[in-house]
Structure 1
């Protein structure tokens, strides 16, 4: 706290020196710019080509890495069209992996680069990109957005075959909403395609729609024709779609005929390595094959769990790749980790300087003093306590995990950046609150100090606002930091209770306690104000022979 206070007192005299330092760093970067751009230009297109080959071969995870690298490199040389291409392909892979929100974010970033470009290449990429947004929106059940983006794709497409394929997608979106009339109209438009695989897809969808419109209609001739075309062109994904549609028809009309199609669908789904098709086939087999019900039911549940885990892993993996590439835009390949660490430190320093400079110019003297006090409190919470917590974790780890430490520092960096923008709180989540508190307390455990958490259940935090939780979280961290620095405690206990419409937190340690009359010292300066801010109360019991006991209570907002 003392270091941060000194920084605020002397910031005016140091600002000029920091600006000079940044200017010198800027000149150094400019001197390397030409060589760096040559390197990026050579490698960025190679990364794009390699990504395409990997994706075509089915290695989408590796393709994602190279598309992400290509996106950063192409952006650095200001090639908007090819940067848009890389982003559009990232969105498609994210879509395929079920990371729909990330996919839409990538597509929107690509859209900004491709808008107002009228050359055929840019329009083709933009059209495919709109289609990707539509698919993600449809999977998220945002049908209105899906249809809007399909229409955008059609409006800028110069390729008739692609446009007709988009009509099929619109029809499929209406069909999922049970709008049979609209679905049929778009499928009939799409049936004009000259592409055999697309024709088989539309024929299958139109036959299904006609049957849904009129239960006496026999779709089998059209469904079998679509299946035959798909087998001819070895369209394995399409083959499974045909088998699913035929099986669904016979489930309604004649279940005895449905089973062979469901069994064949399951077999091909395994060959295709398509977990979604396997789930659909198993769902049919559970209903159609009572003799193997138990086996199919267990396989279905196991696959659901595995698919959920795999998709979460993919999302986390892709998030790490996106994070890594964002931070390595100006990276020298031989010094990646060093530059990353320096970027965090420099970013935080510059950000704090800019925040205070802007506030100083725009506020009157009295407002500046109040603002600086508030900022000092925030920076202390976010930067000082955050970094101290990371240092504590590193100190207590036998094996240093660099990647985890980077994640922790990135969190501190993002939080410090949020201060300048006054970003609004996120929706509160009692489970998330519980985990954050437990993780915070556990992070201060080491070979000399045991930390215990009692009663910290999700129900404790139900109804607690984000702002109240933030204050409580900082109070808990302040107590832990103070304990670590001063108390010499070997045991720390936090007990949480919910009593009607209030929460009670009891802190106990077996340290040296606080001698004499209780005053807010030793890092506890902000604790009383925080609790008062949420209409709570705090009681310090320093009369016991050993240790310190603190009781905090506050109402549920």
Structure 2
């Protein structure tokens, strides 16, 4: 996510910029201001927002009002309410005087935060203008470095790499080596060079920055470096990219940063093996829904606090003019309004969450449909074209004289079937299935290989549906093709039988068996998929010194 690259100024530093050298009249802080400040630093930011809002609306001290709005903006920004944050930052600026040196700290911090929120919203050119204003009022070199770094990132996002590199070079020249600031600038500089020139080798500076961040225990910096390394290795070295994505996800979880977790999960979904992708995808959806719900609730809560504060102020003025008999009625109406507002907010949140989940379900269903269609077409291509050709080749290979017309008939049949490969076209139900199946299996016999078929009788297949018969035919054809290609077997026995409501097929050969590190290829993957489709099971017995035994079973009907 682009906002990660900003190396955002920590909230404590941001607020400290307003309050590090306060104006003399801030020495006497109002009680609600003290309470709000205490709640903020102890992490109770919802309550802190309420009291800062009270100070901003009622205090006569302009500096105290400005700082309160700045605190409120930082709380909203942290909760993802960027528009609300910008509104309060602009209100803070209205209570500051550019001519007063004591206000310059807060002016600089406010403009920097406006630049950050603009960048989060994708308004990079606006962000650069705010960073220039922040630099104009910044009294400290260290804070200027942070602002210049943020400005460089905005140039990077605008693909104005020359301007970004110029800023990073100037920052790197004055930064103290082996510090987290130096590491962050080095990492950002390397990323910008790589974005400008894809042939640039960014690994050495990325690695150097990461080592510094580990030494100084800068976990946020490590998070960014892992993200940079994952992006850099994404195409040329996906295994390395997967490793760094996992490292990023682990440290993002440690930092409890949902945005960075989501970014890491996006990388893991793209890079991981198929069997791991589903778990990452489900975690991504869960985390994204939770984050959006939390941010929407926070936005509603901040707006409700502001609204209630204004309403409370107006009501107090009204209550002063009314007699005692109307006070109870006004309080009752206010409580009803609050309840209605909360109920409406909860209803809106519920509808938003429901709509998004419904949309995701529809998209997932559509994706699954497309995936199943592609798999089915792939299986048909494999069975009709690949195995069909292989079977004809086998017959030609072991016949001294080939009847031209018979060969042309077989090729024409395979041609016609391949033309209809995208249609759900079943083979004729009038053919005698067990004879057809037996001929298929025995066609793999030759002068050096015997194929014996036992138990495949008409009675066995009477209750088996046409669709299941065709799947069994494709499954056995695939096993025989694999036997022909790989087993070097001299004797093959396929035994059919029935036990209770199950058809059982036992394949045995005296070939070389399966290798120790056996993995399914495309053909066997299709075979397993077909067996699953007919609710069947398959097992491989490779414990004997020679040969292979395969057991297949599936229900009748």
TM-score of the two chains, using structure 1 as the length reference: 0.51
User: Are 1:135 and 2:77 matched, yes or no?
Assistant: no
Deviations 1:183-241 (A, max 9, x none): 21222223223492222221111000111222222111211222222223332222111
Q: Structure 1 regions of 5+ residues with no counterpart? A: 1-39, 331-337, 347-386, 395-399, 409-431, 436-557
Deviations 1:71-106 (A, max 9, x none): 533663422222211211211221122111111100
**1:46 corresponds to which residue?**
34
**2:499 corresponds to which residue?**
none
Aligned pair partner of 2:148 in 164, 167, 191: 167
Q: Write the distance in 1 (CA, Å) between the matches of 2:37 and 2:50.
A: 12
Aligned pair partner of 1:254 in 229, 234, 237: 237
Query: Would the alpha carbon gap of residues 233 and 322 (structure 1) be closer, same or farther in structure 2, given more than 3 Å must change?
Result: farther
1:240-279, aligned counterparts within 5 Å?
240-279=223-262
Q: Write the distance in 1 (CA, Å) between the matches of 2:56 and 2:234.
A: 52
Aligned pair partner of 1:103 in 81, 85, 89: 85
Asked whether the equivalents of residues 275 and 303 of structure 1 are also in contact (C-alpha less than 8 Å), the reply is yes
Aligned pair partner of 1:307 in 279, 291, 311: 291
Q: Write the distance in 2 (CA, Å) between the matches of 1:298 and 1:220.
A: 32
Asked whether the equivalents of residues 65 and 321 of structure 1 are also in contact (C-alpha less than 8 Å), the reply is no
Query: Would the alpha carbon gap of residues 298 and 210 (structure 1) be closer, same or farther in structure 2, given more than 3 Å must change?
Result: same
Q: Write the distance in 2 (CA, Å) between the matches of 1:157 and 1:142.
A: 22
Question: In structure 1, the residue corresponding to 2:286 is in which secondary structure?
Answer: helix
Question: In structure 2, the residue corresponding to 1:185 is in which secondary structure?
Answer: helix
Query: Would the alpha carbon gap of residues 238 and 345 (structure 1) be closer, same or farther in structure 2, given more than 3 Å must change?
Result: farther
**2:529 corresponds to which residue?**
none
Query: Would the alpha carbon gap of residues 407 and 262 (structure 1) be closer, same or farther in structure 2, given more than 3 Å must change?
Result: closer
Question: In structure 1, the residue corresponding to 2:175 is in which secondary structure?
Answer: coil
Deviations 1:301-350 (A, max 9, x none): 222212111110111111122223334559xxxxxxx848838989xxxx
TM-score of the two chains, using structure 2 as the length reference: 0.51
1:117-128, aligned counterparts within 5 Å?
117-120=99-102, 122-128=103-109
Deviations 1:382-419 (A, max 9, x none): xxxxx9xx98xx9xxxxx845235789xxxxxxxxxxx
Question: In structure 2, the residue corresponding to 1:322 is in which secondary structure?
Answer: helix
Q: Write the distance in 2 (CA, Å) between the matches of 1:112 and 1:252.
A: 49
Q: Write the distance in 1 (CA, Å) between the matches of 2:97 and 2:296.
A: 32
1:59-98, aligned counterparts within 5 Å?
59=43, 62-73=44-55, 76-98=58-80
Larger Rg: 2
Aligned pair partner of 2:203 in 210, 220, 224: 220
Deviation at 1:42, TM superposition (A): 4.1
Query: Would the alpha carbon gap of residues 89 and 228 (structure 1) be closer, same or farther in structure 2, given more than 3 Å must change?
Result: farther
**2:392 corresponds to which residue?**
none
Question: In structure 2, the residue corresponding to 1:98 is in which secondary structure?
Answer: coil
Query: Would the alpha carbon gap of residues 324 and 340 (structure 1) be closer, same or farther in structure 2, given more than 3 Å must change?
Result: farther
**2:133 corresponds to which residue?**
152
User: Are 1:285 and 2:268 matched, yes or no?
Assistant: yes
Q: Write the distance in 2 (CA, Å) between the matches of 1:407 and 1:298.
A: 30
Q: Write the distance in 2 (CA, Å) between the matches of 1:341 and 1:109.
A: 26
Asked whether the equivalents of residues 164 and 189 of structure 1 are also in contact (C-alpha less than 8 Å), the reply is no
